[in-house]
Chains A and B, each alone.
Chain A
């Protein structure tokens, strides 16, 4: 094969690879990105009930309820304008408590206005002082 021909085929091959790579990447992005909403935005926007999304806000005081076992919990996320009921089964992160910032990832059941969370992340807060520590400091 002459050099020029070789080069030509090489370029074609390269372009094909790049194109398929880009296609691959975009497809992956489409399926794998997760949108983030506040409770207000969730109520306002059109969202498929099956789609995995994230919701963030503060845990409303006195809204946390556990079932007997402790693994099924429901609470309310608020952005001070609107509230959203969240249902979650699983272990909660260390920093999860009322009044804290939290992000839940899961699906919304639009008709029931309940968010079924698959995972819950708590915002890292430097200023919370658990009561047991307060006791230690004061003594």
Chain B
């Protein structure tokens, strides 16, 4: 009964949104009818609440293992632990769509609660846009991906979740990621509203920035969690595979990062308006594109849900409608919103403009590489694959200049900066940097790329330190450091420092782990040993056990290096309901490094020889640590914006 209620809720919210769109337009004059603002607002609130309830009801269905619901039957099992029953709700296509809708609803409700900050005409346009997006997604859910369909007769047991998804990392990776993706709908709606108003002001930028920041933080965390999960669960010692679906999550992140920087320029200097609007539209469009690619079956990957051409066509039409419509609106209104003021290249806004260009260029190359197999297949019919080597070649050359610029821009002022000022500020920076690079090279040597990577991270660290010290010092003299100024520096500036520090830590992690990692693979019998990076690893024994819903084969390894000795267990699981194997790598941490052992199947079968893979990944944790620091920096900026400028207090000029 409850399920039918949820179904009705969905249908009602769809009808309400459609109604909203219909009555908002004054067809005679082809304008929006502002008189219906209040009813629209109330209808939106109702629809949002109904959607959230529908989602909660589905979760209840999973918790109760109600197999009369087709979706629950297909994706759950009564033996699953409670937390995985709950996360199973969104571990499938239909359920995850409903979660998407619920998150969008919550964002919508938050927006409505803050609606007094903006003028009616503006918020009306935002709600109008949100209504269209919602209507489209709900329609897609109801007509092609309905989670509330019943099945008869009621099966006794569910078909079980893919065991690979029964994992804490993976349970939380979709919600976090979705909070990022879905959140981009708000900046998108703001951008459309601004285009419709024909004006992009710095007040607008101030208002939209917290939303962009929030989405960015969630996207960063979501992607990081996914990468971390892939590392310890897939057993290949890697943390990024340039898988099409990974790429497709990276694209919105890159553009949102550019958007974050661009909107700051619009806020502070009333420039780059066209860029900001375009970035807001594109980052949301890439989110839709990502959804499309994953759910339409166009690309096969670890992530792809079951394929269905009907779904594909629906999302494609929706994607085309929204994106082409917005881009057309952008092109037609661009002249009206852009101002003719120029930008000095040698200034913070100049640096950020270049940053925009670099980030967009990297996003474009990744997009091309991801779609290239598809394009070639249509044109020539050949089947090709574009893998990691391509992405590394095109992505890295773009990142280095961007990092260099980043370090420079942190030290630049808004408006024009005189070259002498720069010289004063930066020569110390360069001196320190060269010093560290020389030391590193003498200590470690190493391939050029790794050296460049370490140099890039050191550059960022010293840039941040340099700007920080300059803010504390009077007349750039070390003797006159005023420590009381630490408190005077805005929280958002610390946020910025921390975020870029995070980037530096991330790059350091990537460079060091890629440069110094070692790997062994082979077949070994119990009792034999492996030597890797001064580790002496002995395959002590193999234990076989039956666990709740899997068969466990655990390899026990004793490891020795220098004075230290410890044990690592690497497990291979075979799940009883599906027969699928999975590996649980044995990972031993030492500061930021990992020794990582995976035990696979017998090769050949029955010989007693086991496939063993051992990875030593020095400093790899810095990769995820860096990302978390980045996100944390974002949080600091968000809090600052919240208490100091436009978020809670009324803006000085109403939009």
Contact = CB atoms under 8 A, between A and B. Distances in A.
Interface of A: 3, 6-7, 10, 14, 17-18, 21, 24-25, 28-29, 32-37, 54, 64, 66, 69-71, 73, 90-95, 97, 126-130, 132-133, 136-137
Contacts of B11: none
Interface in B499-548: 521-523, 546
Contacts of A3: 342
Contacts of B607: 66, 70
Contacts of B579: 127-130, 133
Interface string B607-631: 1010101000000000000000000
B365 interface: yes
Q: Please report whether the interface of chain B is mostly helix, strand, loop or mixed according to DSSP.
A: mixed
B576 A137 contact: yes
B151 interface: no
Interface stretch (B119-127, B131-139, B282-290, B378-386): B378-386
A132 B606 CA distance: 12
Contact of B386 (A32, A95, A127): A32
A71 B390 CA distance: 30
Contacts of B365: 21, 25
B574 A130 contact: yes
Contacts of B180: none
Contact of B603 (A32, A34, A91): A91
Contacts of A35: 382-384
A91 B389 CA distance: 22
Given A3-B342, A32-B390, A37 B397 contact: no
Interface in B372-429: 372-373, 376, 382-387, 389-390, 393-394, 397-398
A71 B368 contact: no
Contacts of A127: 578-579
Interface string B335-369: 00000001001000000000001000100010011
Contact of A133 (B387, B574, B603): B574
B384 A71 contact: no
A33 B372 contact: yes
A133 B384 contact: no
B39 interface: no
Given A32-B387, A66-B603, A69-B523, A132 B551 contact: yes
Given A21-B361, A73-B604, 18 more contacts: A28-B393, A29-B390, A32-B386, A33-B372, A33-B384, A35-B382, A35-B384, A66-B604, A66-B607, A70-B604, A70-B607, A91-B521, A95-B581, A97-B605, A126-B580, A128-B580, A129-B579, A132-B574
A94 B612 CA distance: 11
A28 B385 contact: no
B385 A70 contact: no
Contacts of B583: 94
Given A34-B385, A35-B384, A70-B607, A29 B372 contact: yes
A91 B611 contact: yes
Contacts of A17: 361
B558 interface: no
A32 B393 contact: yes
Contacts of B386: 29, 32-34
Counting from the closest, the 7 A-B pairs by CB-CB distance are A129-B579, A36-B383, A32-B390, A66-B604, A28-B393, A91-B611, A32-B389
* Residue among A25, A66, A94, A127 having the largest count of chain B Cβ atoms under 10 Å: A94
A55 to B, nearest CB: 11
Contacts of B576: 133, 136-137
Of the listed residues A92, A97, A137, the one surrounded by the most CB atoms of chain B closer than 10 A to its CB is A92
Contact of B397 (A24, A71, A93, A136): A24
A36 B385 contact: yes
Nearest to B235: A94
B523 A133 contact: no
B174 interface: no
B203 interface: no
B312 interface: no
Interface of B: 162, 342, 345, 357, 361, 365, 368-369, 372-373, 376, 382-387, 389-390, 393-394, 397-398, 521-523, 546, 551, 572, 574, 576, 578-581, 583, 600-601, 603-605, 607, 609, 611, 613
A21 B520 CA distance: 37
A33 B603 CA distance: 31
B578 A126 contact: yes
Contacts of B394: 24-25, 28
Given A33-B386, A35-B384, A90 B397 contact: no
A71 B372 contact: no
A95 to B, nearest CB: 7
A115 B562 CA distance: 44
Contacts of A66: 603-604, 607
26 contacts: A3-B342, A7-B342, A10-B345, A14-B357, A17-B361, A29-B369, A29-B386, A29-B390, A32-B386, A32-B389, A35-B382, A35-B384, A37-B383, A70-B607, A71-B603, A73-B603, A91-B523, A91-B613, A92-B601, A94-B581, A127-B579, A128-B579, A128-B580, A129-B579, A130-B574, A133-B576
A91 B601 CA distance: 10
Contacts of A126: 162, 578, 580
Nearest to B577: A137
Contacts of B376: 33
Contacts of B601: 92, 94
Nearest to A132: B551
A40 to B, nearest CB: 13
A70 B609 contact: yes
A71 B574 CA distance: 23
Contacts of B605: 97
A90 B521 contact: yes
A25 B387 CA distance: 13
A2 to B, nearest CB: 11
B258 to A, nearest CB: 16
A133 B551 contact: yes
Contacts of B372: 29, 33
Contacts of B611: 91-92
B353 to A, nearest CB: 10
Contacts of A14: 357
B393 to A, nearest CB: 4
Contacts of B551: 132-133, 136
Contacts of A36: 382-385
Instruction: Output the residue of B376, B522, B583, B604 with the most chain A CB within 10 A.
Output: B604
Interface centre among A21, A95, A137 (most CB of B within 10 A): A21
